[in-house]
Amino acid sequence: DSGVTQTPKHLITATGQRVTLRCSPRSGDLSVYWYQQSLDQGLQFLIQYYNGEERAKGNILERFSAQQFPDLHSELNLSSLELGDSALYFCASSPLRDRKETQYFGPGTRLLVL
Amino acid sequence: QKEVEQDPGPLSVPEGAIVSLNCTYSNSAFQYFMWYRQYSRKGPELLMYTYSSGNKEDGRFTAQVDKSSKYISLFIRDSQPSDSATYLCAASGGYQKVTFGIGTKLQVIP
């Protein structure tokens, strides 16, 4: 158990809908990362927050947004969902702001868009 | 061309074999190299990380980095059925995002 929790574990929704994925980092970790994992693309970095502020952005679509709250939990919002958004979404946390070599992953949320 | 290339396999080996997993990378700025293990329907678990070139050993696992050839390796000695998983290599410039390989699926057959 990495200490990172994610809810829900599974989510089934329809195209055009909006969903929110939630992540609680390990105790004491200030950095939260979001990743998308699909079979053909592998693990793709979406966005990083550090202590409530956006720190780095990756291949995140404009339809997606995230935030980190004062208690350090984070939410990833996915809107106007498309079939291609079906994937595993992982959250990871790290105690470091900029050095990214040690990240601890949560169990993921499996999203299926029908 | 992807910055980190990894053969997706699958790779099947008998129990007790030495497993060699490899990746290549193209970004010369990468200084940190990681290996993650991912069991089916679970999140990636950090196995090892190394800085720059050289070897690092942890139990049955040895990570090797050759920056001159941009080659990353993970060796698993005395492989066990419990080692059956997908192994992801990853690299970072430290202050840059981590770039992952697509993962190699390993099956260790009893």
**A10-49 per-position pLDDT tens digit:** 999 999 999 999 999 999 999 999 999 998 788 999 999 9
Residues of A in contact with B94 (CB under 8 A): 98-101
For strand A10-13 and strand A109-113, is the pairing parallel, antiparallel, or unpaired?
parallel
Q: Work out the angle at residue B27's Cα, subtended by the Cα atoms of residues B22 and B31, and round it to the nearest 5 degrees.
A: 75
Least confidently predicted of A64-68, A106-110, B72-76, B90-94: B90-94
Contact B43 A56 (CB under 8 A): no
Contact B88 A56 (CB under 8 A): no
Residue A110 has pLDDT above 70, yes or no: yes
Residues of B in contact with A107 (CB under 8 A): 42-43
The dihedral formed by the CA atoms of B13, B54, B50 and B20, expressed in degrees to the nearest 10? -10
Per-residue confidence band for A114, with pLDDT thresholds at 50, 70 and 90: very high
pLDDT at A80: 97
Residue A99 has pLDDT above 70, yes or no: no
Per-residue confidence band for B94, with pLDDT thresholds at 50, 70 and 90: low
What is the rounded average pLDDT for all residues in chain B? Answer: 93
Residues of A in contact with B99 (CB under 8 A): 45
